[in-house]
């Protein structure tokens, strides 16, 4: 019996309520709708289930990969020979005290921002249309429209690589452009504490609606994608550079540089991981040759 079969058997015995899936297609769990099967996936509903899954995996000498909503993840067509712990749908508690919200790592940003609006708290309007979870947003310091997680997150509870609970706060969060102290993905985020400001519910809703309308007008929300494929290079905008090079509509297999927003690569139907990466390489090579600017992938890859 190999390690993964042994892990499946042990978790089934000691944590019978934990949802486990073997050979689960990752195309079901990424917004790109791309990816082959993962050897084993756990979908904990509670922090206790998550702790048990992590501890048991470590006992089997297996390092879990932690994921949220899969909105910035591109998985190999061959899949991933590993163990994934997915927090979305579980770890989804939300609490509010005064102007502080404590959110489980599996809470979707759309739900979190609406919760803040209902409490007349401002500061999370930018997050309303981002299709990620709290854990993923903290990991990547997600942001839009001049707002980001760095501006609102005060502390994060997580499990260390050894499976022990710790709280990370202040400068130790190491937030930067699309990065944080959790970038190496060796710690499972359990929850985050966010400090917001009192505001007017009507004004908050109006701003969220405005951001939503802008997204619908500018972004190809009707096709599977992982949002912006490239990070913003210093002094430039990736989409503007790609547009300048007349790459909108460039297609490889089922993957295409969006005709609506040059910063997006979309899945026209049946796109593979290889299609996306080949297309991204062509874009980077062309932009570097014609503008001298090197683009860096923002989307994360797994099993590649």
DSSP for 237-284, written as a single string: -HHHHHHHTT-TT-EETTEEE-SS-TTEEEE-SS--HHHHHHHHHHHH
Q: Which CA distances in Å does 272 have to 12, 74, 221?
A: 33, 9, 19
264 vs 170: CA distance, rounded Å: 33
Q: Which of 187, 228, 258, 284 is catalytic?
A: 228
Residue extent(s) of CATH 3.30.43.10 domains in the chain? 3-86
What is the CATH architecture assignment of 94-202? 2-Layer Sandwich (3.30)
Other beta carbons less than 10 A from residue 23's beta carbon? 12
CA angle 41, 180, 56 (to 5 degrees): 30
14 vs 8: CA distance, rounded Å: 10
pLDDT of 1 = 60
Q: What is the mean pLDDT of each run of 10 residues along the chain (304 residues)?
A: 90 95 97 97 95 95 93 95 92 95 96 96 92 92 90 95 92 91 88 96 93 89 93 92 97 97 96 98 97 95 93
Q: Which of 27, 191, 298, 300 is catalytic?
A: 298
- 0.85 surpassed by pTM: yes
Residue 18 belongs to what H/E stretch? none
Closest of 185, 164, 181 to residue 172, by C-alpha: 181
Which residues are within 8 A (CB) of 261 and not within 5 positions of it... i.e. 6 or more apart?
218, 219, 220, 239
Percent composition of the chain: helix, strand, coil (DSSP 3-state, to 5): 35, 30, 40
Instruction: Specify whether 298 is catalytic.
Output: yes
Instruction: Specify whether 186 is catalytic.
Output: no
303 vs 188: CA distance, rounded Å: 19
Instruction: Specify whether 114 is catalytic.
Output: no
Question: Is the domain covering 220-302 a CATH 3.90.78.10 domain?
Answer: yes
Q: Is 156 exposed, middle or buried, given 0-12, 13-18 or 19+ CB atoms closer than 10 A?
A: buried
pLDDT of 186 = 84
Other beta carbons less than 10 A from residue 301's beta carbon? 13
Residue 86 belongs to what H/E stretch? strand 80-86
Fold classified for 3-86: 3.30.43
Residue extent(s) of CATH 3.30.465.10 domains in the chain? 94-202
Q: Which of 33, 178, 187, 300 is catalytic?
A: 178
Residue extent(s) of CATH 3.90.78.10 domains in the chain? 220-302
247 vs 290: CA distance, rounded Å: 12
pLDDT of 89 = 81
122 vs 100: CA distance, rounded Å: 11
């Amino acid at each position: 019996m190999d390690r993964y079969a042994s892990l499946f058997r042990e978790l089934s015995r000691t944590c019978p309520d934990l949802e486990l899936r073997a050979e689960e297609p990752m195309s079901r769990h990424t917004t790109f709708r791309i990816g082959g099967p993962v050897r084993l996936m756990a979908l904990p509903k509670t922090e206790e289930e998550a702790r048990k899954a992590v501890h048991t995996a470590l006992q089997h000498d297996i390092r879990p990969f932690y994921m949220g909503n899969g909105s910035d993840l591109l998985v190999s067509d061959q899949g991933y020979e590993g163990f994934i712990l997915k927090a979305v749908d579980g770890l989804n508690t939300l609490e509010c005290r005064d102007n502080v919200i404590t959110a489980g790592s599996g809470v979707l940003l759309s739900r979190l921002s609406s919760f803040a609006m209902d409490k007349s708290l401002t500061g999370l309007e930018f997050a309303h249309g981002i299709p990620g979870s709290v854990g993923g947003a903290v990991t990547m310091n997600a942001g839009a429209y001049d707002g980001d997680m760095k501006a609102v997150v005060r502390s994060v509870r997580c499990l260390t690589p050894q499976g022990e609970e710790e709280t990370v706060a202040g400068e130790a969060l190491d937030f930067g452009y699309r990065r944080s102290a959790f970038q190496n993905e060796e710690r499972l985020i359990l929850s985050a504490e966010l400090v917001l400001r009192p505001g007017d519910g009507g004004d908050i809703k109006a701003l969220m609606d405005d951001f939503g309308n802008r997204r619908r007008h500018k972004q190809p929300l009707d096709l599977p994608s992982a949002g912006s494929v490239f990070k913003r290079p210093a002094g430039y905008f990736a989409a503007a550079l790609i547009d300048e090079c007349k790459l909108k509509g460039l297609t490889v297999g089922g993957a295409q540089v969006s005709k609506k927003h040059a910063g997006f690569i979309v899945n026209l139907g049946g796109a593979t991981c290889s299609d996306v990466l080949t297309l991204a390489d062509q874009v980077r090579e062309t932009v570097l040759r014609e503008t001298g600017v090197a683009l860096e992938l923002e989307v994360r890859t797994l099993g590649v």
